[in-house]
């Protein structure tokens, strides 16, 4: 799944370069778009009683970006084992240059704070995550 983000002025620092923390936000934007495209936006997950806390984030910066750059973020499922989802992200500028790559890991918990058995309790969502690995 591809998601487009245009670098905003407020995302840049005094040197005119995108502040590093914003790439993590863009990863979340792409993951939210991935879930929406799969038919499971965050509000639907919450209505289903599922929360998805972040377990880990990694980000490897390759080239700087600046105000008004258009960044294409490719988000895909790297690994999914039912309770834990690992997403990977590749960000490219308009010239096709990779500016950042990253991963994020997430758990799926019910309202009681215990892990959700995705395959048994939410087979449709389980299948969407498996499709995201293709």
Pick the CATH number of 2-131 from 3.40.50.11740, 2.60.40.3500, 3.30.479.30, 3.10.129.10: 3.10.129.10
The whole-angstrom separation of Cα 133 and Cα 87 is 9
pTM equals 0.92
pLDDT at 93: 98
pLDDT, tens digit, for every residue of 83-122? 899 999 999 999 999 999 999 999 999 989 999 989 998 9
pLDDT band at 128 (very low <50, low <70, confident <90, very high): confident
- Which of 82, 20, 81, 83 lies closest to 53 in space, CA to CA? 83
Beta-bridged to residue 103, according to DSSP, are 58, 88
pLDDT, tens digit, for every residue of 5-37? 999 999 999 999 999 999 999 999 999 999 999
Q: Are 2 and 72 in contact, with CB atoms under 8 Å apart?
A: yes
Please state the rounded mean pLDDT for residues 75-90.
94
The sign of the CA dihedral 113, 128, 81, 100 is negative
Domain boundaries, the chain: 2-131
Cβ neighbour number for residue 52 with a 10 Å cutoff: 16
Is 80 exceeded by the pLDDT of residue 134? no
pLDDT at 111: 87
């Amino acid at each position: 799944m591809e998601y487009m983000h245009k670098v905003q002025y407020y995302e840049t620092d005094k040197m005119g370069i995108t502040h590093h923390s914003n790439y993590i936000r863009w990863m979340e934007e792409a993951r939210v778009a991935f879930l929406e495209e799969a038919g499971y936006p965050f509000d639907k997950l919450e209505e289903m009683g599922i929360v998805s806390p972040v377990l880990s984030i990694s980000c490897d910066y390759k080239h700087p970006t600046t105000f008004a750059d258009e960044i294409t973020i490719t988000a895909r499922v790297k690994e999914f084992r039912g309770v834990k989802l690992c997403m990977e992200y590749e960000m490219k500028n308009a010239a096709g240059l990779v500016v950042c790559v990253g991963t994020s890991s997430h758990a799926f918990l019910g309202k009681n704070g215990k892990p959700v058995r995705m395959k048994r309790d939410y087979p449709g969502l389980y299948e969407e995550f498996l499709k995201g690995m293709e």
